[in-house]
Amino acid sequence: MNMKRLIYILSCLLTVVSCAQKLDNSDFIPGMDEGDLNPDQNISGPAAPDTVLANQVKVMSFNVRVGTEDGTDPKDWPARRKSVKPLLTKENPTVIGLQEALKHQLDYISLEMEGYSSYGLGRDDGKTSGEIMAILWNDSQVECVNKGTFWLSATPDEVSKGWDAGYMRTATWGEFTIKATKQKFFYLNTHVDNTGKLAQVQSMHLIKEKVKELNPYGFPVIITGDFNAELSHAMFEPFNEWLYDARSTAPVTDTRATYHGFGLYSTKIDHIFYTGLIPLEYKTINKTYEGVTYISDHYPIAALFELTGSADPDAPQAPGNYGDLTEENFPCDDYNEPPQTGAGYEDMTEEDYLLQ
């Protein structure tokens, strides 16, 4: 055997070993601890859906970026939407909360995601006009037994703009029963104003009071949304009295930014809060599907929870038990880094990132 042939064979063997090592670490996300903004490797071909057990609930919060229909720009909805179905199919969420979805976007997702039902009202008229903070649920996993929408304003049961908000804002909620176990939980999805300082604070108080009103039996609660603020913001004080943050408390988690503005910004403004459940995993989903680098100007986020009837005093059971919670109580302290600052994001208005 000549030397060139020997070198070629050794080179092939090294390539095979290298590929095998890459596959063994396919779930590793480079730069996770640094809050890396770059999308992960492209997913090609069908991916097996994530497993959600009978006593578990997986929720996703997904700001789809309000989308035009012409598709003349790669950031437009027609250029991004083909990645939605493989993403949602892979993640297999029990419940999904959308933000900024226009009717045609919700219609597209609802049509693509067979086996999911959806609900939401347009914020501008209480019907179909304007952005919809829609919720979708997996019919094979849960039954929606009650649902509704209210406006983040002093007159929440009317189409209205709240306080000093720049835009009308809504919250969409549902009461769900897990079909396999008959366990119940309450879910709410929202999008808080990005400019009105008073509106941000009052919206948090309103959501807390409305959850008490709409969930009188005290079922476990999950709240998702684009809150246009990081967790250090004072607006979250009403939530801190009775809710946990899934990113901070899940034993498997990450520190990635959620809003990136198509690679321009780095800030964590999308959140998942809960009470009465056990967090198992939190993740910021930065994988790419169907060659679409950025599915939106936000990364979707997801959390997996276990519902339990446990009498364990350390298990979160009801609102009002978490006022003394500190970072020292959180598992996985390596991930409790100081919130990042989104360069320039605080000065942005919705017009700055809407498609023209």
Assigned token pair, 242: 């009775």
Rounded Cα–Cα distance for residues 234 and 231 (Å): 8
Confirm if 75 and 68 have CB atoms less than 8 A apart.
no
Asked whether residue 217 is assigned to any structural domain, the reply reads yes
Within a domain: residue 46?
no
The secondary structure of the chain, three-state, reads: CCHHHHHHHHHHHHHHHHHHHHHHCCCCCCCHHHCCCCCCCEECCCCCCCCCCCCEEEEEEEECCCCCCCCCCCCCHHHHHHHHHHHHHHHCCCEEEEECECHHHHHHHHHHCCCEEEECCECCCCCCCCCECCEEEECCCEEEEEEEEEECCCCCCCCCCCCCCCCCCEEEEEEEEECCCCCEEEEEEEECCCCCHHHHHHHHHHHHHHHHHHCCCCCCEEEEEECCCCCCCHHHHHHHCCCEEHHHHCCECCCCCCECCCCCCCECCEEEEEECCEEEEEEECCCEECCECCCCCECCEEEEEECCCCCCCCCCCCCCCCCCCCHHHCCCHHHCCCCCCCCCHHHCCHHHHCCC
Instruction: Kindly state whether residue 41 falls inside one of the protein's structural domains.
Output: no
Residue 4 within a domain: no
| CATH code of the domain covering residue 73 | 3.60.10.10
Whether residue 201 is contained in a domain is answered as: yes
Which pLDDT does position 40 carry in this prediction?
Answer: 62
Number of domains in the chain: 1
| Within a domain: 38 | no
Per-position pLDDT tens, the chain of length 356: 554 344 333 433 333 333 332 222 222 222 333 344 567 644 544 579 999 999 999 999 999 999 876 777 878 999 999 999 999 999 999 999 999 999 999 999 999 999 999 999 999 999 999 999 999 999 999 999 999 999 999 999 999 999 999 999 999 999 999 999 999 999 999 999 999 999 999 999 999 999 999 999 999 999 999 999 999 999 999 999 999 999 999 999 999 999 999 999 999 999 999 999 999 999 999 999 999 999 999 999 999 999 986 323 343 333 333 333 333 333 333 333 333 333 333 333 333 333 32
Structural domain boundaries, residue 142: 53-353
Whether 18 maps to a domain, the answer reads no
Cβ proximity of 99 and 131 under 8 Å: yes
Q: How many CA atoms lie within 13 A of 309 on its CB side?
A: 4
Residues 6 or more apart from 328 whose CB is under 8 A from it? Answer: none
Within-domain flag for 45: no
